[in-house]
Amino acid sequence: MNIHKKFFSKIGFSYLALGLIAIIFQMIIVNLINMTNPSYLSDFNILCAISSLCNYILPFPVFYLLMKKLESFKLEKSNPTAKTFALYLGITFTLMWIGNMIGLGITAILSSTIQTDISNPVHELINNTDILFNLIVISIIAPIFEEFLFRKMLIDRSIKYGARVSIVLSAVLFGLFHGNLNQFFYAALIGGFFAYVYIKTGKLIYPIILHAFVNLMGSVVSLILANAIINLETSINSFDLTIALLYLVVCATLVVLGIVGLSRYKKAKFNGEKTKISLKYPYKTLFMNLGMICFVVFFIFETIMQAIP
């Protein structure tokens, strides 16, 4: 194995460790609660809190030490204009919508093929947790940690191989790490775009804001809209009708911005960032190594297991 494959193998094993440690902590905490007060395990807010604790905080020290051994590089910093950032918001929403449609379509086809409904743990979680909890955990805490883990820690170390390699790597790892079929497609699409924004600006705050926005739309705004629609089914009132209409206007505006932004996309010039190491076969080097193979196989297995009810 050459030095470049070894580099990506170490990254694969580091993210595999992140996932495995998270699962181990979840098993330990859930078993402890089950032995002391099992009724807590029926509360989706508690389950979501446990998941966040185990995915982001508890395994972080080990993951950080593993990734710290790899050389990192600082990106050149710049700020997008208000117009550009508005296009970023539109592109993020549009990619989320496209990815979600792809995921739902493939899930429906597979469900029909195997004659079994494929579960959607995210939909189940969002619909059974409090709006305030979704706001704090899903819309604020998760974006901060995930952008640090899958953009800064990853791209700062892989950017020497070029922006394209870093973007593909970030997209694939981020998509697979979610561990379920419904999320993979849109997580990979927006993850790749967040990687692009981070490389373009050199500042993590921008992908964090974009990530928080998309999570807010999916976990908080969607619940408010659902409640408004339920109320409108029983009686028409100006408040719920305004919410529904405002949501449609915002979504339509974002899609238009997204289409405009995507249509203007050209080969990116990343603030003078140059590929320091050119790979003859970049994607073969990137994924055909032991660490990455183990990571991909493990998370595909987890995705299959989560899909089976």
pLDDT digits (tens, 9 = 90+) for 80-120: 999 999 999 999 999 999 998 998 888 888 777 776 666 66
% of the chain surpassing 70 pLDDT: 91
Whether residue 215 has pLDDT greater than 70: yes
pLDDT band of residue 216 (cuts 50, 70, 90) is: very high
pLDDT at residue 273, rounded to an integer = 57
Whether residue 202 has pLDDT greater than 90: yes
Whether residue 308 has pLDDT greater than 80: no
Calculate the average pLDDT of the chain: 88
Whether residue 235 has pLDDT greater than 90: no
pLDDT at residue 123, rounded to an integer = 66
% of the chain surpassing 90 pLDDT: 59
pLDDT band of residue 277 (cuts 50, 70, 90) is: confident
pLDDT at residue 237, rounded to an integer = 86
pTM value > 0.75 = yes
pLDDT band of residue 309 (cuts 50, 70, 90) is: low
pLDDT band of residue 124 (cuts 50, 70, 90) is: low
Name which of 187-196, 249-258, 299-308 the model is least confident about. Answer: 299-308
pLDDT, tens only, 107-118: 888 777 776 666
pLDDT, tens only, 147-177: 999 999 999 999 999 999 999 999 999 999 9
Query: Using H for helix, E for strand and C for coil, what is the string for the chain?
Result: CCHHHHHHHHHHHHHHHHHHHHHHHHHHHHHHHHHHCHHHHHCHHHHHHHHHHHHHHCCHHHHHHHHHCCCCCCCCCCCCCHHHHHHHHHHHHHHHHHHHHHHHHHHHHHHHHHCCCCCCHHHHHHHCCCHHHHHHHHHHHHHHHHHHHHHHHHHHHHHHHCHHHHHHHHHHHHHHHCCCHHHHHHHHHHHHHHHHHHHHHCCCHHHHHHHHHHHHHHHHHHHHHHHHHHHHHHCCCHHHHHHHHHHHHHHHHHHHHHHHHHHCCCCCCCCCCCCCCCCCCHHHHHHCCHHHHHHHHHHHHHHHHHHCC
Q: Which residue has the higher pLDDT, 196 or 47?
A: 196
